[in-house]
Amino acid sequence: MENSEQLKEIVKQKYSEIALQDKETNQSSCCGSGYCSTEVYNIMSEDYNTLEGYNPEADLGLGCGLPTQFAKIRKGNTVIDLGSGAGNDCFIARAETGEDGKVIGIDFTPAMIEKAKINAQKLGFANVEFRQGDIENIPVSANIADVIVSNCVLNLVPNKDKVFKEMFRVLKPGGHFSISDVVLVGNLPGALRKDAEMYAGCVAGAIQKDVYLELINANGFSNITIQKEKAINIPDDILKNYLSEQELINFKTGNTGIFSITVYAEKSSTCGCGTGCCN
């Protein structure tokens, strides 16, 4: 596997390509990875159409959950979406926070930011902003967000611990997050774990579920709750690009599992600046 900077460049290049693809093409692959499947396959199987603010032009079919559905966004809230893509979750968040709130989308890929800005202009939203940036160093001030959402993005980031630290920094005391992500139970086969294409496809970058939850806890968050969990089944015709026939059998019959989870957690409202939580 490449180093962190090389992985970031892979993700940037891959998602620059994805920004130009249609939703159907992205959904036939693994989170937009290069290997497409002839099987009906989409880890984003939930239906966005039921959510107010949904905009089909902003939906690239890249998510693995519906974090905005669980995010407890209130009127007037400031919401940050990490890995905002073409703006889909931002526009749903905007429907929740209303005209008096603010939504800030952060994305690593210039092509995604450009696409999101065009979508926002079409919708006439003055209180939805998109910023290019690395979510390991979120380009916003401390204690600014009431709510953070993210959809199938942290698995793409090499330093997940740093992202959770940044999330804690930018949330207001009493703020919270709801994020959907891909996690593992058991050991992923080496060929999948080492392949950079599958990293950009959001599987190889996933970490163990218990490690993921412990990172949240270790960074000061409380009331950690799994709001939704579902198994992700990668089609055989994608797996065959990485695994031998016997490895495929072992993988499918073993204890390894790939899951989408939506996790909620809070930043305490009583923490004082002496604890460092206001930094």
Nearest to 204 by CA among 217, 191, 216, 215: 191
How many C-beta atoms lie closer than 10 Å to residue 123's C-beta?
16
According to the model, what pLDDT value does residue 271 have? Answer: 59
Predicted structure pTM score: 0.83
Phi/psi-derived region of residue 96, left when phi > 0, alpha when psi is between -120 and 50, beta in every other case: alpha
Rounded CA separation 278/169 (Å): 7
CB 188, CB 256: distance < 8 Å: yes
Domain ranges for the chain, please list them.
Answer: 4-268
- The domain defined by 4-268 folds into Rossmann fold (3.40.50)
pLDDT in tens, the chain (279 residues): 456 776 666 666 666 666 665 555 554 444 444 444 444 344 545 667 788 888 888 877 777 888 999 999 999 999 999 999 999 999 999 999 999 999 999 998 898 999 999 999 999 999 999 999 999 999 999 999 999 999 988 988 889 999 999 999 999 999 999 999 988 888 777 776 665 445 445 565 788 899 999 999 999 999 999 999 988 877 777 778 878 888 888 878 877 788 889 999 999 987 554 445 555
Distance CA 156, CA 153 (A): 5
Report the length, in residues, of the chain: 279
Torsion of CA 94, 96, 101, 105, to 10 degrees: -40
